[in-house]
């Protein structure tokens, strides 16, 4: 017992003038040091029985365990806090709704198969305190354990990285300002990454988004290779396109039909990114592909697509998914910019986030390379419209940015998958040189919005119309 008290006194010494006391203590006689009463708490709660440094019970349930024993009780309602910003792997783009927490046990490996990742659950590693990032990518965690070498987990879906904060001072705000410390992993040696399948497309080739986001080129590969990112060749209306023939080391990529034509192949990937193929390009799809994509989404898969990739909803074998919108298709032009819907919490967060990362642009407006009028209406609550714009050839204001949780039409507690469709082209017609060296370094306006949705679709599933659900800690 004396040793535990001495540890508490040492941890408090840095804040002695503030009068802090150690909240944790050694277990009482007859009590297991690892015992837990099984009671969870809301974000930031610590429903554990603790004693102060002098051994007097403070009335909170449960004995402290591991890092809990380094939490401090500060005077005058103060707290020990940790504040920082979460970034994409490039260390430059701040991320909204990222989870940051202090684990109290080793992190188990993430499941290798598709899982049903719903928001508002308990993260891995027995977390004790944590927070979600706001629309500026900022997190603020209260009641952080004091002392050296604090483990910190940064997570967005299957992007997960554990870092170490060198030192936490008691009863003050501790800031971490190094973007390289609070960014998501660039490769799997730094942490966990989702398995990503991406198809090429001449009209809206999304492949340059990956190096711009900072994903390590060592993680790029083709089917059969053990890489985080696997490239597939989408439709080729122009077989001589430079965008496809000068694809560097990825020239051996399989046709996209190999990806979406077989559920077993599709299910290898947590996230599928589908570039526009310039048309519906029905010759590389078919009933088996539509059925595989529908099942993939129902199992927890994530899909991101632009323009003609609406085909997966229009031709879905799931009547509920097919019926979530009216999709005449054909890619007639629509007006730019897209006007964001800020009437629901996550829609306002997108507008606030974009205003922060792209200052000087009109609030709530996003200009893409091109905007199309494939969708004329949607069916809430099966789908959520994030942005709309007026039609040019048809009458009315129609949806441009749409998300849907799957299986479509079910209650949120029964949904596992998620899809995002941007009825637009994010990048100009691509005829770049060798990939990835010929990709520009910075994200364009439309690409920044694509990045927002890319991390959003990769995250846990919840009802988009409601405020974000914090995890249970």
Domain contains 286: yes
Domain contains 104: yes
pLDDT at 248 over 70: no
pLDDT at 28 over 80: no
337 and 281 assigned to the same domain: yes
Mean pLDDT of 187-201: 96
160 and 226 assigned to the same domain: no
For the chain, percent of residues with pLDDT exceeding 70: 82
Better-scored residue on pLDDT, 271 or 204: 271
How confident is the model over 113-132, as pLDDT tens digits?
999 999 999 999 999 999 99
30 and 157 assigned to the same domain: no
What is the torsional sign of CA 305, 308, 313, 316? negative
> Token pair for residue 190?
């730094």
252 and 125 assigned to the same domain: no
Better-scored residue on pLDDT, 215 or 470: 215
Q: Do residues 119 and 58 touch, judged by C-beta distance below 8 A?
A: no
Better-scored residue on pLDDT, 61 or 144: 144
pLDDT at 246 over 90: no
How confident is the model over 255-265, as pLDDT tens digits?
999 999 999 99
Tell me the pairing of strands 138-141 and 129-132: unpaired
> Token pair for residue 392?
């040019």
64 and 89 assigned to the same domain: no
Pairwise CA distance, residues 119 & 336, whole Å:
33
115 and 211 assigned to the same domain: no
pLDDT at 304 over 50: yes
pLDDT grade for 12, boundaries at 50, 70 and 90 = very low
Pairwise CA distance, residues 85 & 330, whole Å:
42
> Token pair for residue 185?
């992993």
Task: Answer with the one of 72, 96, 122 that is the final residue of a domain.
Answer: 72
pLDDT at 422 over 80: yes
> Token pair for residue 48?
């554990």
Which range marks the domain in which residue 47 is found? 2-72
How confident is the model over 32-91, as pLDDT tens digits?
333 333 323 334 333 333 443 333 334 444 589 999 999 999 999 999 999 999 999 999
Pairwise CA distance, residues 203 & 262, whole Å:
25
Q: Which residue has the tokens 């403070």?
A: 58
Judge if the upstream peptide bond of residue 337 is cis by omega within 30 degrees of 0.
Answer: yes
Q: Do residues 202 and 308 touch, judged by C-beta distance below 8 A?
A: no
Q: Nearest-5° angle of CA 247, CA 251, CA 253?
A: 115
Better-scored residue on pLDDT, 429 or 181: 181
Task: Answer with the one of 108, 141, 176 that is the final residue of a domain.
Answer: 176
Domain contains 467: no
Domain contains 110: yes
261 and 340 assigned to the same domain: yes
Per-residue confidence (pLDDT) for residue 432, from 0 to 100: 55
Domain contains 232: yes
Pairwise CA distance, residues 338 & 254, whole Å:
35
Per-residue confidence (pLDDT) for residue 471, from 0 to 100: 87
Per-residue confidence (pLDDT) for residue 236, from 0 to 100: 66
Mean pLDDT of 324-344: 96
261 and 385 assigned to the same domain: yes
Mean pLDDT of 26-33: 36
Reference 275, options 435, 399, 114, 87; nearest CA is 435
For the chain, percent of residues with pLDDT exceeding 90: 70
135 and 13 assigned to the same domain: no
Pairwise CA distance, residues 400 & 204, whole Å:
16
153 and 248 assigned to the same domain: no
Domain contains 182: no
Beta bridge partners of 387: 340, 401
Pairwise CA distance, residues 378 & 398, whole Å:
9
The CATH number that applies at residue 447 is 3.40.50.880
Reference 342, options 331, 329, 353, 334; nearest CA is 353
DSSP state of 17: G
393 and 324 assigned to the same domain: yes
Q: How many CB atoms lie within 10 A of CB 106?
A: 10
3-state SS, 32-89, equals CCCCCCCCCCCCCCCCCEEECCCCCEEEEECCCCHHHHHCEECHHHCCCEEEEECECC
Task: Answer with the one of 15, 41, 72 that is the final residue of a domain.
Answer: 72
Domain contains 473: no
Mean pLDDT of 164-180: 97
Per-residue confidence (pLDDT) for residue 60, from 0 to 100: 45
Per-residue confidence (pLDDT) for residue 204, from 0 to 100: 87
pLDDT at 366 over 90: yes
Mean pLDDT computed over every residue of the chain: 85
Burial 50-63 (b: 16+ CB within 10 A, else e): bbebeeeeeeeebb
pLDDT grade for 23, boundaries at 50, 70 and 90 = low
95 and 49 assigned to the same domain: no
pLDDT at 8 over 70: no
Per-residue confidence (pLDDT) for residue 284, from 0 to 100: 93
Per-residue confidence (pLDDT) for residue 238, from 0 to 100: 55
The CATH number that applies at residue 163 is 2.60.40.1120
Per-residue confidence (pLDDT) for residue 31, from 0 to 100: 36
Domain count for the chain, please give it.
3
Q: Which residue has the tokens 């198809």?
A: 199
Domain contains 317: yes
Per-residue confidence (pLDDT) for residue 75, from 0 to 100: 92
């Amino acid at each position: 017992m004396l040793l535990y008290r001495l540890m508490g006194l040492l941890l408090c010494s840095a804040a002695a003038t503030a009068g802090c006391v150690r909240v944790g203590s050694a277990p009482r006689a007859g009590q297991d040091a690892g015992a837990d009463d099984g009671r969870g708490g809301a974000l930031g709660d610590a429903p554990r029985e603790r004693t102060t440094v002098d051994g007097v019970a403070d009335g909170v349930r449960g004995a402290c365990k591991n890092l809990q024993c380094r939490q401090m009780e500060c005077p005058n309602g103060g707290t020990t806090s940790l504040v920082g910003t979460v970034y994409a792997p490039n260390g430059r783009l701040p991320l909204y709704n990222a989870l940051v927490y202090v684990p109290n046990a080793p992190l188990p490996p993430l499941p290798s198969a598709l899982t049903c990742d719903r928001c508002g659950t308990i993260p891995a590693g027995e977390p004790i305190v944590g927070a979600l990032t706001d629309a500026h990518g900022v997190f603020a965690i209260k009641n952080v354990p004091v002392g050296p070498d604090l483990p910190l987990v940064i997570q967005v879906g299957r992007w997960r990285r554990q870092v170490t904060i060198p030192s936490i001072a008691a009863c003050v705000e501790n800031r971490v300002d190094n973007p390289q410390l609070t960014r998501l992993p660039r490769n799997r040696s730094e942490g966990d990454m989702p398995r990503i399948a991406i198809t090429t497309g001449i009209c809206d080739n999304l492949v340059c988004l990956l190096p711009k986001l900072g994903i390590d080129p060592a993680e790029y590969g083709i089917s059969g290779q053990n890489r985080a990112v696997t490239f597939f060749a989408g439709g080729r209306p122009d077989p001589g396109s430079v965008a496809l023939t000068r694809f560097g080391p990825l020239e051996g990529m399989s046709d996209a039909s190999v990806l979406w034509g077989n559920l077993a192949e599709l299910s290898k990937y947590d996230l599928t990114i589908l570039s526009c193929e310039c048309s519906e390009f029905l010759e590389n799809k078919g009933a088996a592909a539509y059925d595989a994509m529908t099942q993939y989404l129902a199992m927890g898969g994530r899909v991101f697509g632009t323009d003609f990739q609406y085909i997966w909803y229009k031709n879905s074998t799931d009547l509920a998914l097919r019926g979530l919108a009216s999709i005449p298709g054909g890619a007639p032009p629509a007006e730019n910019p897209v006007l964001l819907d800020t009437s629901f919490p996550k829609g306002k967060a997108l507008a606030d986030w974009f205003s922060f990362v792209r200052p000087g642009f009109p609030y709530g407006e996003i200009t893409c390379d091109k905007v199309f009028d494939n969708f004329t209406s949607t069916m809430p609550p099966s789908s959520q419209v994030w942005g709309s714009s007026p039609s040019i050839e048809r009458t009315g204001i129609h949806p441009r940015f749409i998300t849907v949780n799957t299986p479509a039409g079910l209650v949120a507690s029964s949904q596992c998958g998620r899809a995002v469709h941007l009825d637009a082209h994010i990048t100009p017609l691509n005829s770049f040189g060798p990939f990835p060296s010929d990709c520009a370094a910075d994200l364009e306006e439309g690409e920044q919005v694509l990045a927002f949705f890319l991390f959003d679709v990769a995250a846990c599933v919840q009802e988009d119309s409601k405020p974000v659900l914090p995890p249970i800690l």
